[in-house]
Structure 1
Amino acid sequence: MNILITGGTGLIGSALTTLWQTEHRIWILTRNKTRQNTEAVHYIQTLSQVDFNQLDAVVNLAGEPIADKRWTEAQKRQICESRWQVTEQIAQLIQQAATPPKTFISGSAIGYYGRQANQEITEDYQAYFPEFSHDICARWENLAQQASSENTRVCMLRTGIVLAERGGALKKMLPPFKLGLGGVIGSGEQYMSWIHLKDMVALIDFILKQPSLSGPINAVAPKAVSNRSFTETLAKRLNRPALLPMPAFMAKLLFGEMSEILLYGQRVVPKKLLDAGFHFSYPQLAAALADLNL
């Protein structure tokens, strides 16, 4: 297949490129002009450099990391625009193509649901909590959905916390945990919906090959855990104590509005993937962490 990937040099995109480069011809949208093309992987700086009539699929993973910086108004705009602008451009180019890509897989996040209690949430859940994380994802998905037609199916990946050795959430968690300074955040009862990077890449490949799947898809492992359970499991994996909790007021003081994503969570279930027969290699957190070289 001919596949365009935006965000192809990020955590998920890089792993996806490694998987696909022996099987498909890939175009990667990047701002890095020093990337060298190979026979299978071509780097482009603008979407105009690829012919959407020749593409079989588009995977849109572009976006400013949501938890890298404090949520100033400028940072909020950057988080939104880095997702919305490229998604809108792709949707328009798909609409304009005479022979458009058959599949458009676009990023989203479980933040779509907003803060939730402990009920299990499938893709049909509608009682979302209206806050910044929901607003980002709702418009992001609406823009992607504009590409939908009888010729193009659109899938939105409502992704949870991606666990990987180099990058993602664990990169920030590990330093204090390795020093024995990790701990529960807030009440510790908030749910964390996570997924191993290998499963994340595998499910994108599965969706590409499964034409019956469309719409929002929860990209998380089947077993969400509480923050307390996550903390205990990670500390045990590292053979370190986790004795330094972060009270809610401290999280709010340190991170401002961004603390919402630490203090509140969602118990998300990947119903569509399970119903379609996708097999998770790492359905349990302990096994997922054991597989990573931490």
Structure 2
Amino acid sequence: MKKFKKVVLAGGNGYLGQVLAKHYSSLTDEVILLARKPKTKQANIRTVVWDGKSEGTWAENLENADLLVNLCGKNVNCRYTPKNQKEIINSRVVPTRLLNWVLERLENPPKVWINITSATIYRHAEDCAQDEINGEIGYGFSVDVCKKWEASFFETSIPGTRKVALRMGIVLGSTDGVFPRLLNLVRFGLGGKQGDGQQYVSWIHEQDVALSTQWILTHPDIEGIVNCTAPNPIKNRELMRLMGKAYGISMALPCPTWMLSLGAWLIGTETELILKSRWVLPSLLLASGFKFQYPTADVAISDLVAQAKVR
């Protein structure tokens, strides 16, 4: 007998959504992905089409769900032009407000709603760690996005639904996200430090992301703001060194700040994504007793490099 009856993943057709769908498939009678495009049902995972902007028949699928995870949001790996800024904000705030509106009207709304937000809401920190209790909110566009995102999430209280804003670190996985891109740099001997390499990287292995959502689901005392990062952040230069060591490549040309700025301009992104020091700790998860499968970067990187080599 499976642990849960229904898990709904809004915006679940992306990388992290697929990680969660695979994880819950064996634990849940049914996994439902709310996505903009239809997809053939796979095992007990089915896709329901929605536009993320307006109510429709998709809403009935939220009735009696054990867990709703909202993963909606335009990729921030782009230039912060006025057009992109508007799309980045709206792609997060609009679906979140829509889900609030719909859940208010359900007879049996989801027991738990986890909204995936971002640990980049904290300030650039090289002096001390930031956590849910004493962390300081930063400034700039990416922080403003997070503040509006979380405000839209908490602006409505849903009786019977426990809410958690999960401030996610940089997710490391072998098939998508930042890790395969960094590994490509390592392969070509370009896996040295980026900038001065002193900026902290608050990361988390994709399997610990899935397990942390399950932990939150089964621990009713956890609610509000929760950081989702590994307990041992690492500096950029050490991260790149460990990746080179795990892959067996010693050549590692650094990428100075001026080169990053030029490269970011050429590929249409922002250097902030690489140079901001994110030193974030998951104090509430640790205090609740959650055990990370991959607490240190060397263990996580070894696992992901081994998977990449098999592929």
Bin the TM-score by the shorter chain. Answer: over 0.9
1:154 is aligned to 163
Superposed, which structure 2 residues align to 1:1-294 within 5 Å? 1-24=5-28, 25-33=30-38, 35-38=39-42, 40-46=44-50, 48=56, 49-51=58-60, 52-67=62-77, 69-255=78-264, 258-292=270-304, 293-294=307-308
The 3-state SS of whatever aligns with 1:217 is strand
Query: How far apart are 1:290 and its partner, in Å?
Result: 0.9
The 3-state SS of whatever aligns with 1:268 is coil
The 3-state SS of whatever aligns with 2:92 is helix
In structure 2, the CA distance between the partners of 1:73 and 1:242, relative to structure 1 (3 Å rule), is: farther
Unaligned runs of 5+ in 2: none
Query: How far apart are 1:39 and its partner, in Å?
Result: 6.1
In 2, the alpha carbon distance for the partners of 1:148 and 1:104 equals 11
Query: How far apart are 1:126 and its partner, in Å?
Result: 4.5
How well do the aligned residues superpose, as a CA RMSD in angstroms?
A: 1.8
Is the Cα–Cα contact under 8 Å of residues 100 and 158 in structure 2 kept in the other structure? no
Q: TM-score, normalised by structure 2?
A: 0.88
In 2, the alpha carbon distance for the partners of 1:21 and 1:151 equals 24
In 2, the alpha carbon distance for the partners of 1:56 and 1:200 equals 18
User: 1:127-186: CA deviations, max 9, x gaps?
Assistant: 222111111111111111134344211101111111111001012212121111121111
The 3-state SS of whatever aligns with 2:69 is strand
Is the Cα–Cα contact under 8 Å of residues 153 and 214 in structure 1 kept in the other structure? yes
In 2, the alpha carbon distance for the partners of 1:183 and 1:39 equals 42
In structure 2, the CA distance between the partners of 1:146 and 1:243, relative to structure 1 (3 Å rule), is: same
The 3-state SS of whatever aligns with 2:139 is coil
Amino acid at match of 2:10: T
* Identity over aligned pairs, percent: 28
The 3-state SS of whatever aligns with 2:63 is helix
Q: TM-score, normalised by structure 1?
A: 0.93
Count of aligned pairs between the two proteins: 292
In 2, the alpha carbon distance for the partners of 1:73 and 1:165 equals 33
Amino acid at match of 2:36: R
Task: Report the more deviating stretch, 262-271 or 234-243.
Answer: 234-243
In structure 2, the CA distance between the partners of 1:237 and 1:39, relative to structure 1 (3 Å rule), is: closer
In 1, the alpha carbon distance for the partners of 2:178 and 2:252 equals 20
Query: How far apart are 1:22 and its partner, in Å?
Result: 2.9
Is the Cα–Cα contact under 8 Å of residues 218 and 271 in structure 1 kept in the other structure? yes
In structure 2, the CA distance between the partners of 1:287 and 1:54, relative to structure 1 (3 Å rule), is: same
